[in-house]
Structure 1
Amino acid sequence: MFSSQNPSVFLAFALLLLRSQPSEARLLQDASQLRAQYDYIIVGAGTAGSVLSNRLSADPKTSVLVIEAGGSPDAIQAIAVPFLGVTLPGTAVDWNFTSTPQEGLNNRILRYTRGYVLGGSSSVNLMAWNRGSDDMWDHWARITQDAGWSWKAVEEYYFKTSRIVPPADGHDTTGQFVPSAHGNGPVEVSLPGFPTQLDNRVIKTSKQLGGRFHHNIDLNAGKALGFSWVQSSIGQSKRSSGATAYLEPVLNRTNLDVLTNTIATRILPSKKSPLTLNIVEIATSGQPSSARHNITATRELIVSAGVINTPQLLLLSGIGPSSALRTAGITPILDLPGVGQNLTDHPFIPNYFTVSSNATFDDVLRNETIFTANTQAFMRLPKSSPLLKRFGDPSSGPGSGHTEFGFMDGFAAFGPLPPPVTGHFLTLATAVVSPLSRGNISLNSTSPFDKPLIDPAVLTHEFDVGATVQSMKDAQNFVSAPAWDGFVVAPFGDLAQATTDELKVAYARKYATTVNHPVGTAAMSPKKANWGVVDPDLKVKGVEKLRIVDASIFPVIPEVHPQAVVYTVAERAADLILRSL
């Protein structure tokens, strides 16, 4: 049995396991192998695109083309080995986006990791699995005026996404999750397999403190509040992604073509109708000099390119705010001011503490950005919080949080602070999960090969700043509980000096980043609303045969990690598409 006290042995075991895994992918890289038209074309083989590829191609009479900018994850061990997931940012499987200078962060520039590979961000994320509270889904139903987004309606689609499997160490998980809250879908989800010295302290403290710090057996059982075990998209010691769970098992279908290393450059109207947008222009090899090809979707063109690439593609195609498009030299096809707006992310603060233990990961992983979290929590602000009185409650409801905690056994190198060369540490990461700051995506140029301007506007709203301060106070209070006596020594570095609210704000502006959860740039709204980008059925407003299915359609950000929410949206979208025949 492997433990956190010997992570190097665990890594060696995991790498050996992965070397035995055969390559399964059968993929195309040449546009000359394509048909001139397909029933469905899906732009993006990421989290949502993988689901759609599987569900829409289930009928052998239906032809499906999937266009992916990246390549196959085969033989990339850092994708498959969960412990190595944090080494993927900045590599060839990352789009390597960066933000504009962030005013709320002392004009620092943030790195945005998005998956440039089959499976998209489900192949490069940190695998946390949260389906969101019942309140969150009911809130979406109220915003869109469509009961189809309520939890009662989407529950069946969540159950289709995933299933609980044994953890890597095979321990008895009785009492660590609620079996009835989980389904029987293809994504494998498990509880932590290798315990750390933090885990029991976290659970014990939550049970002792109660109240806002209470224990919750399963954060996926309706209320996403409390301290609990992390559930992750991991099975058999490997990452379970959109690629492995949904796409690779159906690559042998003769009615499914998956074209990799290809950029979608524009969406074009049908020759029969200027408001029927069912043609996609592509560039194979992903280079500006690449030959362009037009492919037609006879039923629907579905954009699942992600929260950054989806609005960029729409804008390049003339779909967006007309005045801005004309200024950029693009002829507008459809005036949709919401395209690229409403960008929302979770601001994230690393709180570092020195500890008396020499059993952390620090000695093994010194100067390496490798870490894992076995426990997490979502909390609400105190009922008496002046923030709630001043700004109202931005969360979906009483079952949803305002802030998040994550516990890492060692120095997790988030943000600009490098790991110390000596010492042992606890990283208590806190985030605001119901932020009110809103940013945007805009064009940097009219070339589809230039990255867009990304402004998440982190910590630009006073609520987010105040909630960040509260999360830092809660973190210090939590590790001051009796279970941490003799283990936590003191706050580390600048955190030790952040003794007032003003100094905590200064700390946050210096060290904050985001949790890499951008959403909302093509938000859905009620059918007859004159705002938003897509209707509740995810069809782009004002045109025919064009639909968007990815995290860009979220009307507001979930108060949890969004991966499982994207899968659920995609399952429902596939059903909506098939029912529309």
Structure 2
Amino acid sequence: MGKTYLNPSDLPNSSYDFIVVGAGNAGGVLAARLSENPEFRVLVIEAGLSDLGPDSDVLRIPLLAARTPGTKFDWDYETTPQPGLDGRVIPFPRGHVVGGSSNTNNMVYIRGPSEDFDRLARISGDDGWSWKNLQKYIKMNERHVRPWNDRNDDEDYDPAAHGNGPLQTSLVAEPSDFDRRVIEAAEQLKGQFRYNRDLNSGDCLGVGGGNVYHVHCWIHTTVGNGARSSSSTAFLNPALQSRDNIDLLLHSHVTRLVPIGGDSNDFRMVELTQDANAQRFILTASKEVILCAGAIGTPQILQLSGIGPKHVLERAGVTQLVDLPDIGRHLQDQPMVFFHWRVNATTLSTFLRDPANIGACMAEYNDSKTGFAAGAAFFNTMVLLRLPEDSAILKEESKDPAAGPNSAHFLIPTPHNPGQVAVPTEGDWISIAAVVQSPTSEGSVEIKTASAFDHPAIDPAYFSASFDMKTMVAAFKTIAKFFSAPVWEDYIAEAAPETAALTTDEAIEAYVRKYANTLKHPVATARISKAEETRGVVGPDLAVKKVKGVRVVDASVLPFAVAGFPQAQVYILAERAAALTKERWAK
């Protein structure tokens, strides 16, 4: 059995074959897969908390999925002031716990279109990243399970799109009247919207007769047996419980990677500590250091190590050792905003206002892990959309930012619950989100000081590119079109006052700047590129360029915002990365 340590001084060794930095989405998979080889000794370093400690029920109970931001399980990041959001500074939640954001996110599992992966293959120059060639890793990672009530959901998903892996995903246990109406609206608006049985099949949109079909589908969530299924529950914790060649170190910050031999480009030494003023420790990876610290943590660690753009490092008081200008650049995130309508039906808005309802749900869950708290509560369906091919918005772009003609520009999760500040506080309401899925705005992650305990400057640069705002405006108009279907006539009563006032593009834009927030999908701060290219941070094998012994496996390597949800894609990245690493070091 592997051991969990709370202090670096307690570690039995100062050297391991592999040191995995970050026990999150990718780190849990990497560590578990590498430890399958009994010859490998693996250490996982996690800055955050155990996912099995006090108050950790909030991580596992699906109903509580949205309650982790701002808690001890959150890094408590925030953005720089955003000109595109009227100068607002917004929270930027990331998981500060074993399992990382896979233990704190809203559990949506959508791999996205095959084109996303095929674009990754083109950009990296490695066909192994294509949708076709990743099928082995997709199937070994995830499996569909029925929801807590064992509802027969055979007609609602495609079994061929799912495998037999440790990660469990499921559909809604009890479809609502709202869900039924969403599906019926798609039928009534044929030619504009169509039903897609499974968004994880690689088919997310279809094009025919010159018209773009907008796709509706049920949402898979990472829930199994009435609880969240995460990188830790599915991969890391089982490995720790069954193997003695893997260790986990908690509450420890990696402050930098240190070159072996002073001026070497071999960075397989890891400096870490538990407090800004505490003792520093040095550990060595005989084979590789694998950074899985995420789109914020990974560029921060590399920059603190003297690897990155010179002007950023000098400003923070760090000596540049390796010139890699793209580290921390090209940050992309997907902005989201909610719109509200009053309805002639009972919705979660009323249900959630009464604490007694939550208490009853939790009592049932604690007794049997069943009921409302045992499944994803807030959205069951999703509509993925493209701008029309003759759209003036697309004509103004030099290149379509989506991965291909079957990839979404924006999406509409269709929850039926309150979703943001300014939601009405009385009556029954639905809140419909609009998300720019293929943004063109690019920002940055830059260290401000030489301390790992000072958060970096996180600038997603929301709406700095005009395409993103125009697409958000188009998204709102599409929502209005969707609600024009006959099935909504007896359901929709009226728009909330602020939503009703959105009668011009200028009004919609002002509303978006006032209320938009993050979907929490940062990517691209250590982008992949072809091996021979000077741009980018990692090559097709995810090894850091110009550096020996360091690999990056997390959302930072994704070159663009994805048309799926990043957690699903990162799981797949991690599976292949583990295979590549095993192959590299096979005896």
TM-score class, shorter? over 0.9
C-alpha distance in 1 between matches for 2:328 and 2:497: 38
Taking only the aligned residue pairs, the percentage that are identical comes to 40
Paired amino acid for 2:353: R
Deviations 1:479-512 (A, max 9, x none): 1211111111122131111101111111111111
Who is 2:287 aligned against? 299
Q: CA shift at 1:183, angstroms? A: 0.8
Who is 1:4 aligned against? none
TM-score by structure 1 length? 0.93
C-alpha RMSD over aligned residues = 1.6
Deviations 1:106-161 (A, max 9, x none): 01111111000000000000010011211111111111222111111111111111
Who is 1:378 aligned against? 384
Maintained 8 Å contact 1:46/1:118:
yes
2:226 matches 1:274: no
Who is 1:336 aligned against? 324
Query: Which of 22, 26, 30 is the equivalent residue of 2:7?
Result: 30
The 1:122–1:533 alpha-carbon spacing in structure 2 relative to 1, beyond 3 Å, is same
Q: Which moved more, 1:508-517 or 1:209-218?
A: 209-218
C-alpha distance in 2 between matches for 1:371 and 1:60: 41
Maintained 8 Å contact 2:62/2:226:
yes
Maintained 8 Å contact 1:371/1:412:
no
Paired amino acid for 1:406: P
Who is 1:233 aligned against? 222
C-alpha distance in 1 between matches for 2:439 and 2:341: 26
Q: CA shift at 1:260, angstroms? A: 0.6
TM-score by structure 2 length? 0.92
Query: Which of 79, 87, 110 is the equivalent residue of 1:130?
Result: 110
Who is 1:17 aligned against? none
Paired amino acid for 1:575: A
2:44 matches 1:66: yes
Task: Map 1:161-560; keep pairs closer than 5 Å.
Answer: 161-225=141-205, 226-252=215-241, 253-271=243-261, 274-284=264-274, 287-357=275-345, 359-366=346-353, 372-391=378-397, 392-413=399-420, 417-560=421-564
C-alpha distance in 2 between matches for 1:350 and 1:562: 21
Q: Which moved more, 1:268-277 or 1:226-235?
A: 268-277
Paired amino acid for 2:258: L
Paired amino acid for 1:313: I
C-alpha distance in 1 between matches for 2:225 and 2:560: 34
Maintained 8 Å contact 2:5/2:249:
yes
C-alpha distance in 1 between matches for 2:381 and 2:472: 20
Query: Which of 49, 53, 63 is the equivalent residue of 2:31?
Result: 53
C-alpha distance in 2 between matches for 1:25 and 1:256: 5
| Structure 1: runs of 5 or more not aligned | 1-23
Paired amino acid for 1:366: R
Maintained 8 Å contact 2:424/2:496:
no
Q: Which moved more, 1:205-214 or 1:471-480?
A: 205-214
Aligned length, in residue pairs? 552
C-alpha distance in 2 between matches for 1:335 and 1:25: 38
Q: Which moved more, 1:320-329 or 1:91-100?
A: 320-329
C-alpha distance in 1 between matches for 2:308 and 2:106: 32
Maintained 8 Å contact 1:212/1:382:
no
Maintained 8 Å contact 1:278/1:296:
yes
Paired amino acid for 2:404: G
Q: CA shift at 1:323, angstroms? A: 2.9
Paired amino acid for 2:38: P
Q: CA shift at 1:25, angstroms? A: 9.3
Deviations 1:235-292 (A, max 9, x none): 01100000000011111321111001111011000127610010000113xx212211
Paired amino acid for 2:396: R
C-alpha distance in 1 between matches for 2:186 and 2:529: 38
SS in 2 for 1:175: helix
